[in-house]
Amino acid sequence: MSGDDHEAIAATRRWLERAVIGLNLCPFAKAVYVKQQVRFVLSEATTPEALREELASELALLAATDAEETDTTLLVHPQVLGDFLDYNDFLDQADSVIAFLGLEGHIQVASFHPDYQFAGTALDDAGNCSNRSPYPMLHLLREASVERAVAAFPDPEVIVERNIATLEKLGIEGYRRLLEP
């Protein structure tokens, strides 16, 4: 289900435009977004099992679709895995689905969640915002696209450091205000 008019998709678009692209958290995002190669999918899953099935379908669809049409997919799932620890545990299942479908080395899953917290950080650490999205989400990425983007970027290691500095300057409250409708 694409659900383009649903609040979760609208909030995800706003996050992508204002935070990811607007703050340049991912210097590779703008190109695929402008070319309309980002697929936004609203999951109706209410259980991890149902989400795993939807994930498998979306992975297969992305693998079968030309990158010029859809380069990446954002699978937004507002009704399941709202607890960050449950979400984090689910990522192992996502990797298992990739392996089961024979897509290792072709597609990877990047993780985004409203309560994302890197190990060893405080919950209110602004650096966590680099992986905080309005709703729980699985970002399906083609590894070939990631490799091309990284190869074209002069110093990809700088991205993380720059993001942390940007987010610390903005602060948690500034980040929240940025995403308001």
| Ramachandran assignment for 78, one of left (phi > 0), alpha (psi -120 to 50 degrees), beta (any other) | alpha
| Interval 1-22 mean pLDDT | 88
Q: What is the DSSP letter of 80?
A: S
Answer yes or no: are the C-beta atoms of 97 and 56 closer than 8 Å: yes
| Interval 66-75 mean pLDDT | 97
- pLDDT computed for residue 72 by the predictor: 98
Q: Please name which of 110, 119, 101 lies closest in space to residue 149, comparing C-alpha atoms.
A: 110
Q: Is residue 173's pLDDT more than 80?
A: yes
Question: pTM of the prediction?
Answer: 0.94
- Name the one residue in this structure whose structure tokens are 């259980």: 47
